[in-house]
Amino acid sequence: MRKLLTILLIFLLTSLHMIGQNSEEHWDTYMASYENGKPGSTTLRMDLIDIAPMQDFNYVLVTGLVYETSKENGFPENEIFSVLHNAADELIEIIQPETDFVLVGSFMHNGKRLEYFYLKEQKNIISKIERFYKIKYPEYKFYLNIKEDKEWDYYLDFLYPNEETLNYMADQSVLRNLEEAGDDLIKARRVNHWLYFTKETEMNKCKAELIELGFIVHYAGINKETNLPFELQISRVDNVDISSIFPITSDLRKRAKNFNGEYDGWETSVEK
């Protein structure tokens, strides 16, 4: 079971073209804590959530080097990072001539850096990768496994972030935009929030709760352009560093759900 590791979570957003892929890819990185208390770093293609499982890519290949580290968090020493990245790049060169594939992500945790590929065919992949490791990285142990995964459970149920982590990443994205505009995130400022509901009565009940919490209501009425027709726009002066804003947005999401509604996000001004 994953838990959001707030103080360590990293959000990385890039758009790039990977070898063997034709469409633009959206890669993110996040960190979470696991049952053994150690953090794990997951890098994955977020865009695949809209099309997974991909037809004919029925086999998942999970493979990577096992490393030793003196760090309590289980992450590698600095000099090992380059070895792990090089090995990951070289794996693509091994797989590419053998079968069509989709590289969906990687996972680093407790002495392992594992790459996740979905393949059309297994062919001689196992033997070729075993030979690669033994020749190029004889001083390292390695993990190597291929299994059928037509439903893409490894991607959907393990690599893809849970709802709490996705919400945290969304807040981080807003904060990144503020920082890129020169905001140091120190000043408290008005923060606007939007919530949507199916029924006016439920919107009004939620509105009453939020007023008690010090929120100011700027609009409560119909919005014909949204799936949930009743819009509630509120604001409050708050700090916007991640430790402050994430608990606020998490609470608003829960309150909206309590009244069969949805929290739709927030915005604020740039303060320098």
- What is the pLDDT at residue 10? 40
Q: What is the pLDDT of residue 34?
A: 84
At 23 the pLDDT is 54
Tokens of 239: 């700090």
Structure tokens at 262: 């949805």
CATH class, range 3-159: alpha beta
Contact 40, 110 (CB under 8 A): yes
Q: Is 234 exposed, middle or buried (0-12, 13-18, 19+ CB in 10 A)?
A: buried
- Tokens for 261? 């509604």
pTM of the model: 0.79
Q: Do domains 3-159 and 163-268 have the same CATH topology?
A: yes
* Domain 163-268 fold: Alpha-Beta Plaits (3.30.70)
The per-residue pLDDT string of the chain (272 residues; one tens digit each, 9 = 90 and over) reads 444 443 344 443 333 333 334 458 999 999 888 877 889 999 999 999 999 999 999 999 999 999 999 998 989 998 999 999 999 999 999 999 999 999 999 999 999 999 999 999 998 899 999 999 999 999 999 999 999 999 999 999 999 999 999 999 999 999 999 999 999 999 999 999 999 999 999 999 999 999 999 999 999 999 999 999 999 999 999 999 999 999 999 999 999 999 999 999 999 999 99
**What integer pLDDT is reported at residue 162 of this predicted model?**
93
Measured at the CA of 69, the angle between CA 63 and CA 72, to 5 degrees, comes to 110
Tokens 């606007």, located at residue: 192
CA 177 from centre of chain: 17
Q: Measuring CA to CA, which residue among 117, 119, 118, 115 is closest to residue 106?
A: 115
| Partner residues linked to 235 by β-bridges | 192, 216
For the chain, domain boundaries:
3-159, 163-268
Strands 230-238 and 216-222: antiparallel
In 3D space, the residue among 83, 107, 212, 227 whose CA is nearest the CA of residue 158 turns out to be 107
Report how far residue 246's alpha carbon sits from residue 93's, in angstroms, rounded to the nearest whole number.
41
Select from 130, 54, 39, 56 the least CA-distant residue to 91.
130
| The pLDDT of residue 81 | 92
- Tokens in use for 71? 């760090």
